[in-house]
Chain A
């Protein structure tokens, strides 16, 4: 029998028992639908997290100085006076390093416009905006010349602008950090909260030399931000920084740590892997349940249609013709269920998205997985009933009442 004729036959047989067919499909519909909805929502969330990771800047490597222990008190990462600007310059000489910025960080009260605000004062090099992939909203980043001349210039984050210069363009005005006036040369574009819930725009950036000589009077830096030339070179650069600094510091215990975004990304993918495994488990359980429903109904259908099977065999249907007929019926049932499930799942995730504002995304891979697995469920659960039908004896089948 021809393929399309068989499909038409199956659809007609299923339409004869519309309610029964729909109820049978419901198992697959609910299973596939919930999986597609869940996948859409988690993929949307993962995508959002990935975007946040990317907002930290691409191919970023951070070198922290080690822990400073004074008596019994341990200061935590970044407290040891071990990293220097010379270290930073040495790292800049390494191959595959695109940009370097020694970093000083300190929280301080800033004043301007008759208002004050406590914010994070960062000392950086002009490379910092490139490393963090951060554009200017107005004005410009300070220059290497400003770093060399220990200039009193500052670049503001959007939050600081909102707090101290509401409704104004602060470029050209003055902000006071520890009573020292800094000329505002630029404003950064808003970047929003980072992964850890910190407002990245709540910051004032000044040249690291100015930070070290005019604000904090320090000779070491808290950390060094490095950008690798390519994503592939991140781990090589990380190793090179490790051996470079180990050589320079000659300490027995490593007094610094080198962290990359790769680690963060790996942690993120580990989370989404757990999520996918969980989803796959739910999906397989609901597909098994749906499959049992289909097998049950197909067995009933074979019994009900014993006489039909007998007639078909009498007029020349081979065992294989009968097998295929019932198998196609089961697969049609499950495949239709799968397609309806995919559609409903996508609609459901859209509803969730518009109700809660969560971004959702239905990956094509999962649409493929859902269609293939529902068809496979149809084949598996339809095979036994179909085989049973094909093995009927035509004489007995014709006599069946």
Chain B
């Protein structure tokens, strides 16, 4: 078995003690994700996918089982060590974008670099943030505040922020949940481009047509994996967008 997996979950459990009843949110999940993969985690609400994502994202620790992230056992780390792992190895993208208000796109992108253990020069932070914004096509709007940007642009800033510390893994939680369908396809296009460049992406979604842009789908139910298979008939965002534009043009011509 290859051990160079980015994510290696072995019999991971998560139990919440709320009052007298124990809630088994995740019951024995084993999963391996390798570099360059693009995985969609799907499931209805209450399936345990959020809990699983929190654990993969090192925001939470499993009550049982082992979790190796990029070769490091993170299941026994304390709060501060988890914070450092999140800073160095994981880039988060949220449904609600979660950008700091009244703070420019550039400064939002710089945020993770403020918390790196090795201190970065102001100039270097600036330069790296600009490069990340360029990758998502927003370099020209670096000085815009979130309220001056559209939803899709805000999500691109969030993606730039997640990339800035060169993490081993991008973790996206319903990244298109707040976006219209065309913008959603654009964001999936950004992800596909990043994935083509070799970045590993794990994404939670409940939309099947969004999941079709990934390479592999994992379906959870009642805290267990019920299906794990490669995506057949994968959608390519560029192609879809082109078709969409043609369709729009056709409507205008008619």
Q: Which residues of A contact B (CB under 8 A)?
A: 1-2, 5, 16, 307-308, 310-321, 394-395, 398
Assuming A315-B161, A318-B83, A319-B79, is B115 touching A308 (CB within 8 A)? no
B114 on interface, CB distance cutoff 8 Å:
yes
Give the complex CA separation of A317 and B83 in angstroms: 6
Q: Contact: A308 with B100, CB < 8 Å?
A: yes
CB neighbours (8 Å) of A320 from chain B are: 80
Q: Which of B65-105 contact A (CB under 8 A)?
A: 79-80, 83-84, 86-88, 92, 94, 98-100, 102
- From residue B123, how far is it (CB to closest CB) to chain A in Å? 13
Q: Which of B21-64 contact A (CB under 8 A)?
A: 54, 57, 59-60
Give the complex CA separation of A395 and B60 in angstroms: 8
B119 on interface, CB distance cutoff 8 Å:
yes
- From residue B122, how far is it (CB to closest CB) to chain A in Å? 8
Q: DSSP class of A's interface residues: helix, strand, loop or mixed? A: helix
Q: Contact: A317 with B115, CB < 8 Å?
A: yes
Give the complex CA separation of A100 and B107 in angstroms: 80
CB neighbours (8 Å) of B116 from chain A are: 316
Q: Contact: A5 with B114, CB < 8 Å?
A: yes
Assuming A315-B161, A319-B80, is B59 touching A1 (CB within 8 A)? no
CB neighbours (8 Å) of B5 from chain A are: none
- From residue A354, how far is it (CB to closest CB) to chain B in Å? 44
Give the complex CA separation of A2 and B118 in angstroms: 11
Residue of B59, B102, B112 with highest tally of chain A CB at under 10 A: B59
Given contacts A317-B114, A318-B80, A318-B83, 17 further A-B contacts (CB under 8 A): A2-B119, A310-B98, A314-B86, A314-B98, A315-B87, A315-B111, A315-B115, A315-B161, A316-B112, A316-B116, A317-B83, A319-B79, A319-B83, A320-B80, A395-B59, A398-B59, A398-B98
Give the complex CA separation of A5 and B112 in angstroms: 14
Q: How large is the interface on B (under 10, 10 to 19, 20 to 34, 35 or more residues)?
A: 20 to 34
Residue of B nearest to A401 (CB): B96
Q: Contact: A321 with B115, CB < 8 Å?
A: yes
Give the complex CA separation of A304 and B239 in angstroms: 43
Q: Contact: B98 with A307, CB < 8 Å?
A: yes
CB neighbours (8 Å) of A318 from chain B are: 79-80, 83-84, 115
CB neighbours (8 Å) of A316 from chain B are: 83-84, 86-88, 112, 115-116, 165
Residue of B nearest to A325 (CB): B114
- From residue B253, how far is it (CB to closest CB) to chain A in Å? 45
A-B contact pairs, 26 of them (CB 8 A): A1-B115, A16-B102, A311-B99, A312-B111, A312-B115, A314-B57, A314-B98, A315-B87, A315-B92, A315-B115, A316-B86, A316-B87, A316-B112, A316-B116, A317-B114, A318-B80, A318-B83, A318-B115, A319-B79, A319-B83, A320-B80, A321-B115, A394-B59, A395-B59, A398-B94, A398-B98
CB neighbours (8 Å) of B165 from chain A are: 316
CB neighbours (8 Å) of B119 from chain A are: 2
CB neighbours (8 Å) of A394 from chain B are: 59
Give the complex CA separation of A282 and B94 in angstroms: 51
CB neighbours (8 Å) of B92 from chain A are: 314-315
Q: Which of B54, B60, B80, B100 contacts A311 (CB 8 A)?
A: B100
- From residue A391, how far is it (CB to closest CB) to chain B in Å? 10
CB neighbours (8 Å) of B112 from chain A are: 315-316
Q: Contact: B98 with A311, CB < 8 Å?
A: yes
Give the complex CA separation of A394 and B87 in angstroms: 13
- From residue B249, how far is it (CB to closest CB) to chain A in Å? 40
Residue of A1, A313, A314, A321 with highest tally of chain B CB at under 10 A: A314
Those 7 A-B pairs whose CB atoms lie nearest each other, nearest first: A316-B87, A316-B115, A315-B112, A318-B83, A318-B80, A317-B115, A311-B98
Give the complex CA separation of A310 and B111 in angstroms: 13
- From residue A389, how far is it (CB to closest CB) to chain B in Å? 14
- From residue A322, how far is it (CB to closest CB) to chain B in Å? 10
Give the complex CA separation of A359 and B87 in angstroms: 60
CB neighbours (8 Å) of B114 from chain A are: 1, 5, 317
CB neighbours (8 Å) of B94 from chain A are: 398
Give the complex CA separation of A120 and B139 in angstroms: 93
Give the complex CA separation of A310 and B99 in angstroms: 11
Give the complex CA separation of A321 and B116 in angstroms: 11
Give the complex CA separation of A296 and B161 in angstroms: 33
